[in-house]
Chain A
Amino acid sequence: MTRVGVVTFPGSLDDRDARRAVEYMGGHGVALWHRDRDLRGVDAVILPGGFSYGDYLRAGAIAGRAPIMGAVREFAERGGPVVGVCNGFQILCEAGLLPGALIRNRSLQFVCTPVHLRVETSGSVLTGSCTVGDVIEVPVKHGEGQFVAASEELRRIEDDGLVLFRYCSPQGELGDAYNPNGATDHIAGLRNDAGNVCGLMPHPEHAVDPDVGPIGGQPLFESLLSHALESVG
């Protein structure tokens, strides 16, 4: 059974939901603590949503330098799957494991709503079971989710196909009406060059159980659980 570690930082909110989603999808969720320095032999790591360290300094800034992040960085460099959701995405950007940054929503308002995402690449541990162009429905809930990057960095992101998901209509069309935070190029999620580090603002862990909402998170957890075992060298 695939063992997926979920890191709890002070201020994490979605760590239990993430572990529950892993279990719901047939994996085993392992609780990891921000002060830990090893990953207890897990096959994949999730950095969950929330407000780690109260978003002090910048969202994800302190967590990005937490003791456990050294082990997460080594794990990622060995090819281990690492997924950051919402605050976890902010942490990965702050830690330099993903490019760009996430700033306050263009509307200045916290958004909490279901959104549709278009899968832009299947070359990642999170989208390996998806087909390019698939549209999935998952919720967002964040105040600082507007993705930005320097123009040359943005060009590299687009040229190298690092965009995982874009906000879109239920039919997969792009448009400002479907972009909940003003993200550049409608970017909702990114991968690194190798495809083993993924970050996204929407919450797949809230979208696996049909009893409580959309199930757009299911293919992402399927991908993660099946690819986790293969990709760790």
Chain B
Amino acid sequence: MRFHFEIVVELKEGLLDPQGKAIEDALPTLGFSNVSNVRVGKIIELDVDAASGDEAATQAEEMGERLLANPVIETIRYSYRAEEGRHVSAGMGASSKIEIERG
């Protein structure tokens, strides 16, 4: 089966997020003076072929630990859904969505 992952990597809380700060400083010039705590992360999407969701999730977690995030400065969250077939159109293939929190 094929599992589609969305992996969110964010800077740890308390660490200065310069990109978030730059955006936060820019928003008031557009009239949004009530915005705070802007944080910028990244989303990594990937597909894993595996026998089960557990197996795919274990592999994705290992990818996260070994490459996708740096645990010194970042946290990582995973969510995934099983694709029922390779030709299923977007939305229809989502049979389950599971969130894994780590960090």
Within 8 A of A (CB), among B38-87: 66-68, 70, 72-73
Residues of A within 8 A of B30 (CB): none
Q: Are B73 and A148 touching (Cβ within 8 A)?
A: yes
Main secondary structure of the interface of A (DSSP, over half): loop
Q: Interface code B1-36, partner A: CB below 8 Å = 1, 0 otherwise?
A: 000000000010001101101100000000000000
Q: Please indicate the chain B residues that have their CB under 8 angstroms from the CB of A103 in the complex.
A: 11, 15-16, 73
Among residues of A, the one whose C-beta sits closest to the C-beta of B11 is: A103
Q: Does A104 contact B (CB under 8 A)?
A: yes
A172 to B16, CA, bound (A): 28
Assess the A104–B18 pair: CB atoms within 8 A: yes
Q: Which residues of B contact A99 (CB under 8 A)?
A: 72
Chain B interface extent, by class: 10 to 19
Tally of A interface residues using CB under 8 Å: 19
Interface 0/1 of A42-63, CB less than 8 Å to B: 0000000000000001100100
Known contacts A108-B21, A108-B22: does B70 contact A58 (CB below 8 Å)?
yes
Contact B22 A61 (CB under 8 A): no
Residue of B nearest to A143 (CB): B18
25 contacts between A and B (CB under 8 A): A57-B67, A57-B68, A58-B70, A61-B67, A61-B70, A65-B66, A65-B67, A93-B72, A94-B70, A99-B72, A100-B72, A103-B15, A103-B16, A104-B18, A104-B19, A105-B18, A106-B18, A108-B18, A108-B21, A148-B72, A148-B73, A149-B72, A150-B72, A153-B72, A182-B16
* A positions within 8 Å CB-CB of B: 57-58, 61, 65, 93-94, 99-101, 103-106, 108, 148-150, 153, 182
Residues of B within 8 A of A (CB): 11, 15-16, 18-19, 21-22, 66-68, 70, 72-73
